[in-house]
Amino acid sequence: MSEDRKYITFALGKGRLAKKTLELLEEIGITCEEMKDKNTRKLIFVNEELKLKFFLAKGPDVPTYVEYGAADIGVVGSDTILEEGRRVYEVLDLGFGKCRMCVCGPASARELLQHHEMIRVASKYPNIAKDYFYNKKHQTVDIIKLNGSVELGPIVGLADVIVDIVETGSTLRENGLEVLEEICPLSARMIVNQVSMKMEAGRIKELITKIRGKMMECETH
């Protein structure tokens, strides 16, 4: 292995997706022992032998790191990819982190979605909400950006409906809300910097092939 071989850097969205991604990488022989230390405050982890670096970032920042080449590869939900609209290659659906982007609200709001009424829509995903209402439904709406606990919107009277992720549906149920319309299915995706895809084509394609192989193996068992 040549000494000057370049590192390949992974940006992983903090939380469940990063955990799942590390499990998947481990199955194809890529580990990062440093990262397993729960108490560490380190931000970047290195596997010297394989010439790999890993860092954890806030989900919405992952496509940014990848677009600018600060990371060669990123793993992030397709919700974030759609929302951020960065110039990156989306190379693989990793099949985990499955959920749905939906318009949700109280049952009484269903009516408001039928007649092109001017309604208020709260969301952590203003671009996805805008694209859905303006381009698909041709309904002019007022979009209010929130940063979390979006289900509060209709409950406290800030918005008529929300555009948000639904996984198990329990947050909605426990707050008296329901799915009114489904926008699209979501899952974790692997994204690649456009220059890295050319400069490191061999190593990146090998990695994609290995992950794909492992995923197919898991499906058939």
Interface residue with ligand PRP among 34, 167, 206, 217 (CB under 6 A) is 167
Interacting span for ligand PRP (CB under 6 A) from 55-63, 134-142, 162-170, 195-203: 162-170
Q: For residue 37, give the 3-state DSSP assignment.
A: coil
Min. distance of Cβ 151 from ligand PRP in angstroms?
A: 6
Quickly list H helices, the chain. 16-27, 62-67, 78-84, 126-130, 152-156, 170-174, 194-199, 201-220
Min. distance of Cβ 213 from ligand PRP in angstroms?
A: 30
The verdict on 165 binding ligand PRP (CB under 6 A) reads yes
| Strand ordering across the sheet containing 178-186 | 142-145, 120-123, 161-166, 99-105, 178-186
Cβ closest to ligand PRP, residue 52 vs residue 109:
109
Task: Provide the CA 129 distance to its chain's centre, in angstroms.
Answer: 16
* Window 168-187: residues binding ligand PRP (CB under 6 A): 168-171
Binding-site size for ligand PRP (CB under 6 A) equals: 13
* Residue count of the chain: 221
Report d(CA 78, CA 90) in Å as an integer. 9
Interface residue with ligand PRP among 40, 140, 149, 209 (CB under 6 A) is 149
Cβ closest to ligand PRP, residue 145 vs residue 198:
145
| Interface residues toward ligand PRP, by CB under 6 A | 124, 148-151, 164-171
